[in-house]
């Protein structure tokens, strides 16, 4: 492999079609932010759209529901149209609503229909804990024992999943499958299309948690015939801390009654009739529960306008180049110092690089004190996520140079090898 130099990355940045979008974000001059897979940075457009919604509240009061710049009553549906492009779905199959775990509960309550001989939920042992908590709760609500009815596919190496193992566990007693699109620790991208086909061969509904893939890579949920999906919008989509999430329901399921009914899932024209008969929208909009959180939704307006211009295919292309450069620099500057535990194949890698090291927690602290913002995942994983919209190739080059200095000078040894309260 040829030596990667400052000139190499300067040329990459000069030819970067997305370079101008970095100016859209509040990026610190004295720091390199590589934690966009936990929380994306604030863009100036997201800030402005939040101010716009605040101003509508100030100027119109309750009339902001139907008036102002962004009428609140239909804002979730309007944003769903833009968000549907990121997940490869029809407009009516997507809605902006809730949070990751609330949307999980809504969808599992709808699609988990245990019958005699088919009562189990299939998940995996590497998924984000909140998903497991939600599944355990849903089993208990149905009077089932999570100890026996929640089946979790084992990992051979504690980092990735073998899809053959997942398919092997799609047995006749499985009533529902829920998996992550990208594993949050290792960054492994599962083959959603293949897993969906195999589940449907066995007549099992299947859904995916897209938290670590939406905004980083394209999806084709409708084409792949996925039954349902849900996600947060505060990572790669940059909607802000606690930003409102989203969900997808395949249109073939629009006749189903949502498992958790709430007034904002009513048909718009009858919602304010205040009838005690729930008349659900025949779209993903029917899966809304309560009144939308407007101030947590507003930043998404500005953020999605950036995605409209940047295009998710170009974002994915640059993301893969950034993570590939990061790995090549690690091999060049720090050969054998870290184990790169994310998939090396572009087709199987999400938006971040995962490094394993026994001193991972203290290395992360040293990085932060040197102006690099990483992410730590217990017990020994450092996640580095160069985000295509606001990270440059030079950012990656500088970050690895600083990491190399930290390791060669053993600067990390002055820190306790223990995570902070928030890793």
Task: Find out whether 30 is annotated in a ligand binding site.
Answer: no
Task: Find out whether 130 is annotated in a ligand binding site.
Answer: yes
Task: Find out whether 212 is annotated in a ligand binding site.
Answer: yes
User: SS3 letters for the chain?
Assistant: CCCCCHHHHHHHHHCCCCHHHHHHECCCCCCEECECCCCCCCEHHHHHHHHHHHHHHHHHHHHHHCCCCCCHHHHHHHHHHHHHHHHCCCHHHEEECCCHHHHHHHHHHHHCCCECCECEEEEECCCCHHHHHHHHHHHHHCCCCHHHHEEEECCCCCCCCCHHHHHHCCCCCEEEEEEECECCCCCEECCHHHHHHHHHHCCCCEEEECCCCCCCCCCCHHHHCCCEEEECCCCCCCCCCCCCCEEEECHHHCCCCCCCCCHHHECCCCHHHCCCCCCECCCHHHHCCCCCCHHHHHHHHHHHHHHHHHCHHHHHHHHHHHHHHHHHHHHHHCCCCCEECCCCCHHHECCCEEEECCCHHHHHHHHHHCCEECEEECCCEEEEECCCCCCCHHHHHHHHHHHHHHHHCCHHHHCCCCCCCCC
Task: Find out whether 97 is annotated in a ligand binding site.
Answer: no
Task: Find out whether 101 is annotated in a ligand binding site.
Answer: yes
Task: Find out whether 100 is annotated in a ligand binding site.
Answer: yes
Task: Find out whether 230 is annotated in a ligand binding site.
Answer: no
Q: Which residue is it, tokens 């349902």?
A: 228
- Annotated binding residues, as ranges? 100-101, 128-131, 209, 212, 234, 263, 291
- Annotated binding residues for pyridoxal 5'-phosphate, as ranges? 100-101, 128-131, 209, 212, 234, 263, 291
């Amino acid at each position: 492999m040829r030596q990667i130099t400052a000139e190499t990355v300067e040329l990459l940045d000069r030819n970067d079609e997305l370079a101008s979008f970095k100016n859209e974000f509040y990026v610190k001059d004295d720091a390199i932010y590589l934690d966009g897979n936990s929380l994306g940075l604030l863009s100036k457009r997201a800030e402005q759209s939040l101010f716009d919604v605040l101003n509508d509240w100030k100027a119109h009061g309750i009339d902001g529901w139907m008036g102002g710049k962004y009428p609140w009553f239909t804002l979730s549906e309007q944003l769903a149209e833009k968000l549907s492009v990121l997940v490869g779905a029809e407009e009516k199959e997507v809605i902006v609503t809730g949070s990751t775990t609330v949307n999980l509960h809504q969808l599992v309550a709808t699609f988990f229909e245990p019958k005699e001989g088919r009562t189990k939920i299939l998940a995996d042992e590497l998924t984000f804990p909140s998903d497991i908590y939600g599944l355990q709760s849903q089993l208990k609500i149905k009077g089932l024992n999570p100890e026996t009815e929640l089946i979790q596919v084992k990992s051979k190496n504690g980092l990735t999943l073998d899809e053959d193992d997942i398919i092997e566990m799609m047995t006749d007693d499985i009533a529902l499958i829920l998996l992550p699109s990208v594993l949050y620790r290792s960054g492994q991208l599962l083959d959603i299309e293949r897993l969906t086909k195999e589940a449907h061969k066995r007549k099992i509904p299947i859904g995916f948690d897209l938290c670590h893939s939406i905004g980083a890579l394209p999806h084709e949920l409708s084409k792949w015939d996925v039954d349902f999906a849900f996600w947060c919008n505060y990572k790669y989509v940059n909607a802000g801390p606690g930003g409102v999430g989203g969900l997808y329901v395949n249109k073939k399921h629009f006749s189903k009654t949502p498992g958790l009914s709430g007034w904002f899932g009513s048909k718009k024209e009858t919602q304010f009739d205040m009838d005690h008969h729930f008349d659900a929208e025949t779209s993903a909009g029917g899966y809304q529960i309560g009144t939308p959180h407007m101030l947590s939704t507003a930043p998404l307006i500005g953020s999605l306008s950036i995605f409209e211009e940047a295009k998710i295919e170009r974002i994915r292309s640059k993301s893969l180049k950034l993570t590939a450069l990061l790995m090549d620099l690690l091999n060049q500057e720090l050969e054998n110092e870290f184990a790169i535990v994310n998939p090396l194949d572009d087709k199987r890698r999400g938006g971040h690089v995962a490094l394993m090291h026994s001193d991972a927690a203290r290395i992360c602290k040293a990085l932060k004190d040197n102006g690099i913002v990483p992410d730590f995942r217990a017990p020994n994983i450092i996640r580095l996520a160069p985000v295509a919209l606001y990270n440059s190739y030079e950012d990656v080059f500088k970050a690895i140079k600083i990491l190399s200095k930290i390791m060669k000078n053993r600067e990390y040894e002055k820190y306790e090898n223990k995570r902070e309260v928030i890793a």
